[in-house]
Amino acid sequence: MEMAERIPGALTTATLTSILTEHRSLMPISIDGVAPTVDNLANGSYRMSKTLYFVTGPKVSSIALDFIRFVQSAAGASILSDTGNLMIAAEG
C-alpha cells in the first residue's frame, strides 16, 4: 500500500479495513458501480466480502471470552462499522 500511495495511477489490492484503519491515501474502487461501504455490504449491493469467525476450543480463557463479548457489543459493532466491517449475527 505504501508503494501504491507513491505511484500516481497505481492499482493495488487492499481491504477497506486496512485503508481506513491505517489512514491510507488510497481510493477504494467501486465494483459494477457500487461503492465499497458498510451500507452497501448490509444491503447486499456490494458483493465482495470476506467473513471472519471466532473459533474456540472447549476451554476458552476469560480474556478471550471478554474480547469476543466486546466485539459482539454495541461498542464493538460501532468500531467494526467505522473500520469498514459489517457485524453479522453470531452462529451457534
pLDDT value at residue 52: 87
- State which amino acid sits at residue 9: G
What pLDDT, on a 0 to 100 scale, did the predictor assign at position 5?
A: 95
Q: What is the per-residue pLDDT across 19-32, written as a single tens digit (0 to 9) for each?
A: 999 999 999 889 99
At residue 56, the pLDDT reads 93
* Residues whose CB is less than 8 angstroms from the CB of residue 12 and which lie 6 or more positions away in sequence, other chains included: 1, 3, 4, 26
Cell of 70: 466486546
| pLDDT tens digits for range 41-92 | 889 999 888 888 889 999 999 999 999 999 999 999 999 999 989 887 766 5
One-letter amino acid of 46: Y
